[in-house]
């Protein structure tokens, strides 16, 4: 499990550095000045590895429209660090409220531009919070070969990132444990009044790397730099444990 986490970090690291060299890309957040994602120079190049990456996005009623836009911005900013491509990192996204709504599968798109456009086009469900159901769908459907997941023998890390703002209406412990046991590495990102124990029940170990809680949707962008600085910034030594 740990090596998978490290794999993700390496990937984030390397692509960030490469992108930065080739074409620095301004990120415009709505209503704010343009800012550029800061990437720290890496002492040595990291090895990028392909991932099968599924975003699992809470689309419940409690999320206000402008907060929903912030989640989209977060996803789009994170995409910059995932080398999207059918032979590189494949990305899927599903959102959930009272039901699970798959937006696109691991084999739907082959470029980052297409994925970005699909994220921009997503529409807020504004219903319930069936987090357990969404994790079940992720395990039983999103990560199947029919949906574009690569065969387990290829050892492509399977990563799910669950972004949620509230208490699940169903139980998550058991299904999340099953998903992790099935080889899915889960990152749990909580916003606002999410119960930390729920996030920990969702996320993989070690929780310090997989479970993140921020105060509100404005703060969710800070996680981009959290991911980055964990990677190629400051103390790299833990990456080689």
Ligand X SMILES: *[C@@H]1O[C@H](CO)[C@@H](O)[C@H](O)[C@H]1NC(C)=O
Please give the Cα distance from 69 to 210 (Å, whole number).
23
DSSP state of 60: B
**Judged by CB, which is closer to ligand X: 220, or 232?**
220
Q: Binding string to ligand X for residues 172 to 211, with x set by CB under 6 A, is what? A: ----------------------------------------
Q: Which of 66, 117, 219, 229 binds ligand X (CB under 6 A)?
A: 219
What distance in Å separates the CA atoms of residue 113 and residue 220, rounded to the nearest whole number? 22
Round to whole Å and give the CA distance between 86 and 110. Answer: 5
Contact letters (x/-) for ligand X, 33-72, by CB under 6 A?
x---------------------------------------
CB closer to ligand X, 33 vs 208: 33
Peptide bond into 88 cis (omega under 30): no
Q: Which is nearer to ligand X, 47 or 193 (CB)?
A: 193
Our finding on whether 215 is near ligand X (CB under 6 A) is yes
- Nearest approach in angstroms of CB 82 to ligand X is 26
Radius of gyration for the chain, computed over Cα atoms and rounded to the nearest angstrom? 17
What backbone phi and psi angles, to 5 degrees, belong to 234?
15, -110
Distances (CA, A) of 228 to 41, 42, 224: 11, 11, 6
In angstroms, the CA 2 to CA 241 distance is 9
Return the SS3 of 2: helix
Task: Tell me if residue 162 falls in helix, strand or coil.
Answer: strand
Per-residue binding letters, 65-104, with ligand X (x by CB under 6 A): ----------------------------------------
Give 32 or 171: the residue with its C-beta nearer to ligand X: 32
Which region holds residue 110: left if phi is over 0, alpha if psi is between -120 and 50, else beta?
alpha
Candidates 21, 25, 32, 66: give the one binding ligand X (CB under 6 A): 32
Shortest spacing between CB 35 and ligand X, in angstroms: 9
Of 85-93, 134-142, 145-153, 212-220, the segment contacting ligand X by CB under 6 A is: 212-220
- Specify the residue, 36 or 171, whose C-beta has the smaller distance to ligand X: 36
Work out whether 216 is an interface residue with ligand X (CB under 6 A). Answer: yes
Total residues binding ligand X (CB under 6 A): 6
Tell me the longest C-alpha to C-alpha distance in the chain. Answer: 47
Chain positions contacting ligand X, by CB under 6 A:
32-33, 215-216, 218-219
């Amino acid at each position: 499990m740990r090596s998978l986490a490290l794999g993700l970090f390496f990937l984030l690291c390397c692509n960030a550095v490469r992108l930065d060299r080739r074409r620095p890309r301004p990120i415009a957040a709505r209503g704010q000045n343009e800012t550029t994602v800061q990437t720290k120079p890496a002492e040595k190049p990291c090895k990028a590895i392909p991932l099968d990456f599924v975003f699992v996005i809470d689309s419940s009623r409690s999320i206000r429209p402008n907060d929903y836009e912030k989640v989209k911005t977060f996803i789009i900013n994170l995409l910059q660090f995932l080398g999207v491509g059918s032979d590189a990192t494949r990305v899927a996204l599903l959102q959930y409220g009272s039901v699970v709504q798959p937006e696109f599968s691991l084999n739907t798109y082959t470029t980052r531009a297409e994925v970005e456009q699909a994220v921009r086009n997503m529409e807020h469900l504004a219903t319930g919070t069936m987090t357990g159901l969404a994790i079940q769908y992720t395990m039983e459907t999103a990560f199947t070969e029919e949906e574009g997941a690569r065969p387990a023998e290829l050892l492509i890390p399977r990563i799910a990132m669950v972004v949620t703002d509230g208490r699940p209406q169903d139980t998550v412990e058991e299904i999340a444990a099953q998903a992790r046991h099935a080889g899915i590495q889960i990152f749990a990102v909580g916003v606002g009044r999410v119960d930390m124990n729920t996030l920990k029940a969702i996320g993989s170990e070690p929780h310090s790397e997989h479970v993140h809680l921020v105060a509100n949707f404005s703060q969710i962008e800070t996680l981009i730099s959290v991911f980055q600085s964990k990677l190629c910034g400051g103390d790299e030594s833990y990456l080689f444990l």
